Amino acid sequence: MLLISCPWCGPRDETEYHYGGQAHVPYPETPADLTDEQWAEYVFYRDNPRGPFAERWMHSIGCRRWFNVLRDTATHEVLASYRLDEPRPGGNR
Amino acid sequence: MRAAGVTGTRGVTLVERPFLTMLNLRVDPASEAAGRIGGTLGVPLPGECGRTAASGDRTVLWLGPDEWLVVSEGPAADAELTAALDGGPGSVVDVSANRTTLELSGPAARQVLEKGCPLDLHPRAFGPGRAVSTTVGPVAVLLWQVDDTPTYRLLPRSSFADYLARWLIDAMSEYRGPEVP
């Protein structure tokens, strides 16, 4: 069981949250100009690092807000959690 | 529910307090409208998870950074609060039918909840006038401690209330007998 800290509610059990996949995936600026391949890259292709990984979570049983979590995929250690309008701690990768 | 009540030093009782009026309030806490609504309610909107604010028979429970639940026994005051919002960004919605209220009270009430609630309910971390959204057993509830008895109010979605009441009655049953050392 992960213990995740919601930026608004504090530490709560993982069962109170929903997972939302990789964070910081920007929406294409000109989606109409993308080739099918580029669109597929945007929609389906995600990083799968071993180590720190920024991902979205939602506190669905608490305040129902989305936020980002920096989690180590090898150890499951939750390194940081931060609001959507805050930059990723430690810069991007 | 009444038959499941236990008296004595390990007592715990469960009753339903149906038909409380609940308003869902959404507004930016930094906006002027939030100030006007606080003025109408007679108390500022609580700004932190777990906090509540009481004014008369109304209690404002924190649900999210821009969301509150106004619980009261009287008639809904949604027109009054909508007027205070004055067309600003936000909403006031009567959600009285969304949840019902179960009241768990007695010296053993905290032990009953601790069988299925992941939060720390010890007085050092939780107390009267605190309310948080969490789970009790598998049911999502708004858990609100009212007094030091302790008395807790559990606000589950109506369709989960029957199951939650059965879950609590089952959890209460062991307090009828002597404590197992």
What is the pLDDT confidence band of residue A92, given thresholds at 50, 70 and 90?
low
Q: Which member of A10, A15, A16 has the closest CB to residue B49?
A: A10
Position A71 scores a pLDDT of: 95
Nearest residue to B117 (alpha-carbon basis) of B149, B148, B142: B142
pLDDT in tens, A41-70: 999 999 999 999 999 999 999 999 999 999
Answer for the pair B107, B9: CB distance below 8 angstroms, yes or no.
yes
Q: Which member of A13, A61, A63 has the closest CB to residue B49?
A: A63
Domains with residue ranges and CATH for chain B:
2-17+100-176 (3.30.1360.120), 21-94 (3.30.70.1520)
Contacts of B171 (CB under 8 A, 6+ apart): B112, B115, B116
Q: How far apart are CA A92 and CA B176, in angstroms?
A: 58
Which amino acid does the sequence have at B155?
L
Is B134 in the A-facing interface, judged by CB distances under 8 Å?
Answer: yes
Mean pLDDT by 10 residues, chain B (181 residues): 90 94 95 93 94 93 95 87 91 95 96 95 95 95 95 96 96 91 82
Mode of pairing for the β-strands spanning B67-72 and B58-64: antiparallel
Helix and strand tally (H, E) in chain B? 4, 10
Position B2 scores a pLDDT of: 87
- Copy the structure tokens of residue A48: 């799968």
What string of DSSP letters covers A55-93? EEEE-TTTT--EEEEEEETTT--EEEEE-TTSPPTT---
Which residues from chain A sit within 8 angstroms of residue B133, using beta carbons?
A: 9, 61-63
Domains with residue ranges and CATH for chain A:
1-27+48-93 (3.30.2270.10)
Buried b (16+ CB within 10 A) or exposed e, A62-93: bbebebbbbbeeeeeebeebbeeeeeeeeeee
Reported pTM? 0.90
Answer for the pair B134, B143: CB distance below 8 angstroms, yes or no.
yes
Position B77 scores a pLDDT of: 81
Position B60 scores a pLDDT of: 96
Q: Coil, strand or helix: which one is B39?
A: helix
Chain A's closest residue to B141, CA to CA, is: A61
